Structure 1
Amino acid sequence: MKQRRIQKRHLLGQPLTPDEVLMLTELSRNHHYPDYRRRAMALLALNDGQCVDDIRVCLRVSDQPIYDWAKGWRDKGIFGLLIGHKGGRPPKLTDDMLDYAAEVARQQPLTRAQIAAHVRERFPDAPSFSLDRLGAGLKARGLSFKRTRLSLKKKEMSCVFDALSTR
C-alpha cells in the first residue's frame, strides 16, 4: 500500500526573512528569560521545517505552546513572541484595594495598620496581606510613611513655653 505524504502547512504564515532569522537567533542566545529563548528556538526550528512533535520533544514542552507562539508571531511579529511572561500568583492587593487605601491615607494621617483595617472593612472577602505590601503599594502611588517621634527639642520648647506662661 502506498503511503500518502501529507504536506505540512507553514505555521509561521510565510518563511522568515534573513533579518528575522538573525533577530530570532540573537534572541535565542542572549535573552534574559529562558522562556523567550525557547520561543525563539521553536520559531527557528519551524522555519527550518521541523515538525511540531520533534520541537516539542527537544524543548520539553507540550505542543500547544508551540502553536501559540507561531500564532503570536503571525499576528503580531516579535511583539507577539515577547508578550505572555505572566508567571506567578495574582497579587493579594488589587488595584481597587490600593486605590481605596490611598484615598483613606490622604484623608487623615493613619498608620499602615489602621489603613489596613479600613481596607479589610471595605473588602472583607479579600485574602490576607502584609503591611509591607500595603506600604509598597502606597509608596508606588506617591505616599510614604515616616515614623513620628516626639523630639527632645519639642519637649524642651514646650517646657520653655510652659515656664514663660507661668510667669
Structure 2
Amino acid sequence: MTRREQIAIVRHVPLSVLKEQIKHHKGLPEVVPRLVFIQLRYTGMSVVQAAEAVGVTGQTGYNWQERWNTEGLAGLVPKYAGGRPAKLTADQKTVLIERLQEKDHWTTTEVQHLLRSRFGIDYSLDQVRRILKSLGMQGGKLYPRDYHRPADAEARLRKTPADEQEHGTGDL
C-alpha cells in the first residue's frame, strides 16, 4: 500500500513553462536541480523519490517544495545569508585600522597579539590575514633587516668624487 503524499505541490506554472525554464535557465546554476525536482513532483513522484533523483535528502526536498509552494520560482533561488556573527565589531575595526597605521610594517603574529591584548579576541593567523585583506591591507615578505645596521648606512657607503680621486677609479 502506497502512502499518500502529505503536502501537495502547488502548480504555479504549467509543466511546459517549467521545462522551458529548465532548458534555458540563465540564473544561478543551483536553481536547475530545484526546477528538475519540481518537474518530477509535477509528474507525480513523491518528495523523497524526486529528492533522491536529483541527489539531495528527502528533508531538502520538503524544504524546496515548501519554498516553491509559498514563493514560487523566487523561492528556489538560494538565500545565502547567516553565518556566525563577527567577533570584531565595526567600531573595533576602526580602532584597529588607526592602530595599524601607527607603524609601517606589521606581522600577522603582531596583529594577532594586538587583537588579543586590545580587544580580548583570539583569531587564528589565517583569520587575521583575512581580516587584514578585508581592510584593504596587503601582505608581503619584507626584506630581512640587520638590527646592527646604522640608520645612515647608505650615506656612509656612498662614494663621493673626492673618495674616487683619493683611491683611484678602479679602472685598469
In the TM superposition, what whole-angstrom CA distance separates every residue of 1:97-140 from its partner, at most 9, and x where no partner exists?
983644532344451221110112345464x512x442233122
Which has more helix, going by share of residues?
A: 1
CA distance in 1, matches of 2:86, 2:37: 36
Contact 1:101/1:115, CA 8 A, preserved across alignment: no
% identity of equivalent residues:
15
Name stretches of at least 5 consecutive residues in structure 1 with no aligned partner.
Answer: 161-167
2:78 maps to amino acid = I
Structure 1 residue 45, shift from structure 2 partner? 0.6
> Quick check: 1:48 aligned with 2:43?
yes
Instruction: Give the match for residue 161 of structure 2.
Output: none
Instruction: Give the match for residue 22 of structure 1.
Output: 20
> Quick check: 1:73 aligned with 2:71?
no
> Quick check: 1:96 aligned with 2:89?
yes
Contact 2:18/2:35, CA 8 A, preserved across alignment: no
Q: TM-score, normalised by structure 1?
A: 0.58
Structure 1 residue 58, shift from structure 2 partner? 3.1
Contact 1:39/1:69, CA 8 A, preserved across alignment: yes
Larger Rg: 2
> Quick check: 1:136 aligned with 2:130?
yes
CA distance in 2, matches of 1:142, 1:103: 13
Identify if the C-alpha distance between structure 1 residues 103 and 63 changes in structure 2 by more than 3 Å, giving closer, same or farther: farther
Instruction: Give the match for residue 111 of structure 2.
Output: 115
Contact 2:5/2:46, CA 8 A, preserved across alignment: no
Instruction: Give the match for residue 58 of structure 2.
Output: 63
Q: TM-score, normalised by structure 2?
A: 0.57
The higher relative CO (CA closer than 8 Å, separation ≥ 6) is in 1
Contact 1:25/1:44, CA 8 A, preserved across alignment: no
Contact 2:64/2:76, CA 8 A, preserved across alignment: yes
Once superposed, what is the RMSD of the aligned Cα atoms? 4.1
Identify if the C-alpha distance between structure 1 residues 65 and 122 changes in structure 2 by more than 3 Å, giving closer, same or farther: farther
Structure 1 residue 70, shift from structure 2 partner? 1.7
CA distance in 2, matches of 1:140, 1:101: 12
Identify if the C-alpha distance between structure 1 residues 79 and 103 changes in structure 2 by more than 3 Å, giving closer, same or farther: farther
